[in-house]
Structure 1
Amino acid sequence: MTTKRPRRGPARFPGLGAVLLAVCGVALPATGPARAAERPNIVFILIDDQRFDAASALGHAFLETPHLDRLIERGVLFENAFVTTSLCSPSRASILTGQYAHRHGVLDNRTRLDPETPTFPQELQRAGYRTAFVGKWHMGGTSDEPRPGFDRWVSFPGQGLYYNQTFNIDGEKVPRQGYTTDLITDYALDFLAARAGSEEPFLLYVSHKAVHAPFRPAERHLGSYAGRRYPPPATMPNRHENYDGKPNWVEAQRRSWHGVDGLYDNSVDFQQFALDYAETMRGVDDSVGRIVGALEERNLLEETLLVFTSDNGFQFGEHGLIDKRTMYEASIRVPLMVMAPWLDGGAGGLRRSEMIVNLDFAPTFLEAAGVEIPDTVQGRSFFGLLEAGPGAEPPPWRDAFLYEYFWERAFPQTPTVLGVRTDRYKFMRFHGVWDRYELYDVQADPEERRNLLGGFITRHGAGNVEARLRVAAASAARNPRDDWAREVLELKALFDRLSGRLDELLDETGALREPSWLPSR
């Protein structure tokens, strides 16, 4: 297998060791920033279904997250972080492999990741890292046996429970009493305690069940936001202007399990749902505080790359929808905070605007550790962005990424969608439904209220928009000074550019332009 070599090898300061050996007669182990520059510890904290704005420092109306806010103050906030498939298992498989879902094959929440597929924990383990996984795995339904790449394994099947979870600990089933977010954190701290004083670098992958629905806060947080009101998004009311130009399936979904008018079979009040989410998030914030505190207490923080993110976003009423899966911003955007205290660009409250996707974590961790990146990886390392301090010239970055979601038989409300997201535009191409396209200027219209194809579809029909645009543009070209003709020609040019970019990304990544539904393995 050919490999991509990282820019930096494992030995960052070979001359320093030689000098110490000559002067002292012994090579002293690197500590603190010097050790981090050689092979940093890696702590990866993955949350389930956390929205991009679900923290007090990120703009939530009332949620208090002092520990997440502290991460933002001390590290780097990537303000444009996304997932390439907004669904738990496909996204988690993309994080592990650095691959799109169509490549790694985990298209739903029941499919197992092929154990032969290279993952970043396996590569780190082979390079001498001590590796631990603690929390929700999810890929493979009811399966919770230890997976390749981890020396320490603490997990449970499927979604797990918020209280009194039975854990699989290195192959042994251990019933536990208590709140799962706290128990996961306890196991993570046990691993950190065991690593204190060791010269062996480690990977700690902490994967929380929270904040997956149905939400259950810790007892200490239950009712802490009683009486507060979550401000519904402007696109939530069932009004004509909120669905004008939108595909028919969007309005229909608001009456389903994943819509505000059918929320979980009408078993949940929207406002209580939002309060439960916020109260459950407080347990996550506590966990982050405990983990960072343990790293500081054991003098590990200065030599640790710490990354916090979510497996996908979550819609809270946008367009009348709940949950994820769609390509709307609330579904695909995630929080991303990074601390790398020894790097100029890894600390100090910096904010970056580059588009990061979940495929980028695997190569970033491998480059940070000086480990070769397998050529199976489709993401890009953003370690160079962390190295670039304030005012430094950042490395060239992506101008677009591919989004893909494949229709699920268990949740048929959302159709298959392939799309492209640039820094300004979002283009969606649907499969298996009559309404085939959406197109938004997300800079001018961040709430995605105006489908730029909507007016044309209203006038000409939803069917084969591509062919109808060609006909209309040919007619408009004969009278280009007419306002309507200019609009059609501009729309046709934008459609062709984004549709062409989507096809390029599909071809580059080995995806089918016309996907078909694939059952679970």
Structure 2
Amino acid sequence: MTETGRGAAAPATTPRQSRTMTRNVLFIMCDQLRWDYLSCTGHPHLHTPNIDRLAQRGVLFDRAYVQSPICGPSRMSFYTGRYVSSHGSTWNGIPLKVGEMTLGDHLRPLGVRAALCGKTHMTADVEGMRRLGLAPDSEIGALVSECGFEPYEREDGLHPDGPRYPRNDAYDAYMKRRGWPDENPWQSVANSAEEEDGTILSGWFMDNADKPARAADEESETPYITGRAMDFIREAGDAPWCLHLSYIKPHWPYIVPAPYHDMYGPETHLPPVRSEAERADPHPVYGAFMEERVSRAFCDDGTRTRVLTAYMGLIKQIDDQMGRLMAFLDERGLTDETMIVFTSDHGDYLGDHWMGEKELFHDASARIPLIVVDPRPEADAMRGLKSDALVEAIDVVPTILDFFGGEAVPHIVEGRSLLPILHKRADSVRDIAVSEYDYSMRDVRRRLGVAVKDARLTMLFDGRWKYIFAEGFRPMLFDLETDPDELTDLGADPACADRIARFERRFFDWTRRISQRTTRSDAWIAARDTVLGEAKAGILIGYRNEDELRDALSGTEHRGKKTGKVR
């Protein structure tokens, strides 16, 4: 453990010891926020004092990994506490099937209101709901359609003109009340710039990333959704709640309002982490991703510079909104009774490893920031510390459930509560982190000639070695102790054959887990005497006569065996 809080952060604060009742959770998620683009995680130029203060009030988990390095599957794992191959939503737009229990389903029986303000990237299982007669506009239908959250306000962003994404009517109406008559102000105002002659410059084009968005700061997406979260908290009353506040930035389109658009010039940008050797003879899947249009765009220094200017500005805007939100909790007297979880659904390559976007397993993509603030006195000994424990995104659900006093349900939730670490009862809860990626929906699969069923990657990371299984290809392997930048793939090195074999066995062990028997726990099965129960119900299998049955029901048969008597 090490202390956190570099940069402009204030000294750590300790919650009042007189308040022992805790009742709320604020589960904050950014979209596409890299783990290392905060001052508390080491960025030398991007100062995030408000997020740093959260780290000083809680624990910064420095080695947290997503279950999939892309929005939809990652979020479904965050919300279910289950691996991607367990819940089945393997890529964006593939529905989370009806019947998968989510955080809200676990919390409602405890009397906790679970609500959403922002993005989920959820695609409802419309066919499954229709089969079961669940109307989408019914109370239960709405919950099933929104990852188990009450949709106080869903704002996924990404509603350009076209049929793919639904328009967010609430935000559009808000912008029109602000005086914007545009048909789609999300696209033409919040995510576009404007030339002096009135020409609209779309934020979808990276050449426009360093220009100020047409929207004012206070009416752009991040402050808007912060305000809506505050509205929910005002209206929530005294009942316990878990609010999922989910920002849609710093995800593309990379564009941000003034004054954030020019706060971070090229002198603040870190050089890309990449080497020519990576392109010399890459793993076939990695090589195919390097050829994607977005990867080629980020190899252009001018494009990368413009994007980084906006990306860092978007993060600074989020940090300022964290300050606004924390001050609001203070004013309402909620700080000392609210657990705060701050994280991201995945990272962003930003030109590292000759890549754009996310999707593979380098730390730039699969590693995320994770800060957990437990306001109770039991967590005081760990405040302001950085934990190097391996953590997975699925650990958030059991941590929140544990915080509210819910029982562990390991036959459903595959993650592990982090409270033992937060309360200094343990240094870690796992010895390996697993992440999965289904690239069957990408053009990469077609160019490689891979069948849909085989377009799968799985990462296992033990804290030093990162092993990546690639169906139909050799594995990838990185030694982060000697190669922390992950520039040298050892997957084809004969000297690493034994290590790869050990990882293959570990991968095989992991795939053999039972993850679909969610209706009965191991404890329930272990406590049940199936044979005796059947006998009492009149199901008589294997009994030769009534004497044997009578002995079995009375227990004398077992006692006879224990004493060595022969009947």
Q: State the TM-score bracket (shorter-chain normalisation).
A: 0.7 to 0.9
Code of the residue aligned with 2:265 in structure 1: it is: A
Q: What does 1:263-412 correspond to in 2, within 5 Å? A: 263=298, 269-345=303-379, 348-374=383-409, 375-388=411-424, 393-394=425-426, 397-412=429-444
Mapped contact 1:109–1:141 kept (Cα < 8 A) = no
Larger of the two Rg values belongs to structure? 2
How many Å separate the matches in 2 of 1:396 and 1:136? Answer: 30
1:425 has 2:423 as partner: no
How many Å separate the matches in 1 of 2:350 and 2:431? Answer: 28
In structure 2, which of residues 154, 173, 176 is the aligned counterpart of residue 175 of structure 1? Answer: 173
Paired position in structure 1 for 2:210: none
How many Å separate the matches in 2 of 1:268 and 1:234? Answer: 16
Mapped contact 1:167–1:176 kept (Cα < 8 A) = no
Paired position in structure 1 for 2:180: none
SS at match of 2:342: strand
Paired position in structure 1 for 2:283: 247
Shift of 1:188: 0.4
Please report the TM-score for the alignment, with normalisation by the length of structure 2.
0.70
Report which stretch shifted further, 132-141 or 417-426. Answer: 132-141
Mapped contact 2:82–2:413 kept (Cα < 8 A) = yes
Code of the residue aligned with 2:100 in structure 1: it is: T
How many Å separate the matches in 1 of 2:512 and 2:56? Answer: 40
Mapped contact 2:110–2:406 kept (Cα < 8 A) = yes
Paired position in structure 2 for 1:4: none
How many Å separate the matches in 1 of 2:302 and 2:87? Answer: 35
Code of the residue aligned with 2:384 in structure 1: it is: G
SS at match of 1:315: coil
1:155 has 2:154 as partner: yes
How many Å separate the matches in 2 of 1:257 and 1:386? Answer: 43
Shift of 1:280: 1.1
Mapped contact 2:392–2:434 kept (Cα < 8 A) = no
Closer/same/farther in 2, CA of residues 201 and 411 from structure 1, 3 Å limit: farther
Paired position in structure 2 for 1:188: 229
SS at match of 2:60: strand
Code of the residue aligned with 1:350 in structure 2: it is: L
How many Å separate the matches in 2 of 1:437 and 1:502? Answer: 12
CA distances 1:108-134 after superposition (whole Å, capped 9, x unpaired): 111222242111112212211122210
How many Å separate the matches in 2 of 1:351 and 1:308? Answer: 14
SS at match of 1:336: strand
How many Å separate the matches in 1 of 2:150 and 2:288? Answer: 47
Paired position in structure 1 for 2:55: 72
Code of the residue aligned with 1:35 in structure 2: it is: M
In structure 2, which of residues 501, 510, 521 is the aligned counterpart of residue 496 of structure 1? Answer: 501
Mapped contact 2:474–2:492 kept (Cα < 8 A) = no
1:208 has 2:247 as partner: yes
CA distances 1:55-89 after superposition (whole Å, capped 9, x unpaired): 12222242221211111222211111111211101
Mapped contact 2:261–2:309 kept (Cα < 8 A) = no
- Percentage of matched positions with identical amino acids: 27
CA distances 1:491-515 after superposition (whole Å, capped 9, x unpaired): 332121111111111112559xxxx
How many Å separate the matches in 2 of 1:353 and 1:229? Answer: 27
How many Å separate the matches in 1 of 2:361 and 2:119? Answer: 24
SS at match of 1:323: coil
Closer/same/farther in 2, CA of residues 156 and 242 from structure 1, 3 Å limit: same
- Name structure 2 gaps, 5 residues minimum: 1-16, 127-135, 161-165, 176-218, 449-454, 517-567
SS at match of 1:219: coil
Mapped contact 1:131–1:152 kept (Cα < 8 A) = no
Structure 1 or 2: larger helix share? 2
1:447 has 2:485 as partner: yes
Mapped contact 1:426–1:442 kept (Cα < 8 A) = yes
Paired position in structure 1 for 2:74: 91
Code of the residue aligned with 1:289 in structure 2: it is: G
Mapped contact 1:254–1:262 kept (Cα < 8 A) = no
Please report the TM-score for the alignment, with normalisation by the length of structure 1.
0.76
In structure 1, which of residues 194, 205, 223 is the aligned counterpart of residue 262 of structure 2? Answer: 223
In structure 1, which of residues 425, 438, 443 is the aligned counterpart of residue 476 of structure 2? Answer: 438
Paired position in structure 1 for 2:111: 128
SS at match of 1:404: strand
Shift of 1:299: 0.9
Paired position in structure 2 for 1:507: 512
Paired position in structure 2 for 1:46: 29
CA distances 1:136-156 after superposition (whole Å, capped 9, x unpaired): 121228999743443452013
Code of the residue aligned with 2:305 in structure 1: it is: Q
How many Å separate the matches in 2 of 1:509 and 1:421? Answer: 21
How many Å separate the matches in 1 of 2:298 and 2:288? Answer: 13
Shift of 1:370: 0.9
SS at match of 1:269: helix
SS at match of 1:439: strand
How many Å separate the matches in 1 of 2:19 and 2:158? Answer: 38
Mapped contact 2:19–2:337 kept (Cα < 8 A) = yes
- Name structure 1 gaps, 5 residues minimum: 1-30, 457-487, 512-521
How many Å separate the matches in 1 of 2:159 and 2:43? Answer: 27
Counting matched residue pairs gives 427
Shift of 1:255: 3.3
Shift of 1:422: 0.5
How many Å separate the matches in 1 of 2:285 and 2:240? Answer: 49
How many Å separate the matches in 1 of 2:414 and 2:307? Answer: 37
1:35 has 2:69 as partner: no
How many Å separate the matches in 2 of 1:50 and 1:332? Answer: 11
SS at match of 1:91: helix
Mapped contact 1:229–1:271 kept (Cα < 8 A) = no
How many Å separate the matches in 1 of 2:348 and 2:377? Answer: 32
Code of the residue aligned with 1:150 in structure 2: it is: F
Mapped contact 1:160–1:209 kept (Cα < 8 A) = no
Mapped contact 1:85–1:91 kept (Cα < 8 A) = yes
Closer/same/farther in 2, CA of residues 159 and 509 from structure 1, 3 Å limit: farther
How many Å separate the matches in 2 of 1:44 and 1:199? Answer: 18
CA distances 1:330-349 after superposition (whole Å, capped 9, x unpaired): 11100011111224435631
Mapped contact 1:71–1:337 kept (Cα < 8 A) = yes
CA distances 1:335-379 after superposition (whole Å, capped 9, x unpaired): 011111224435631111111111111111111101134421111
CA RMSD for the aligned pairs?
A: 2.9
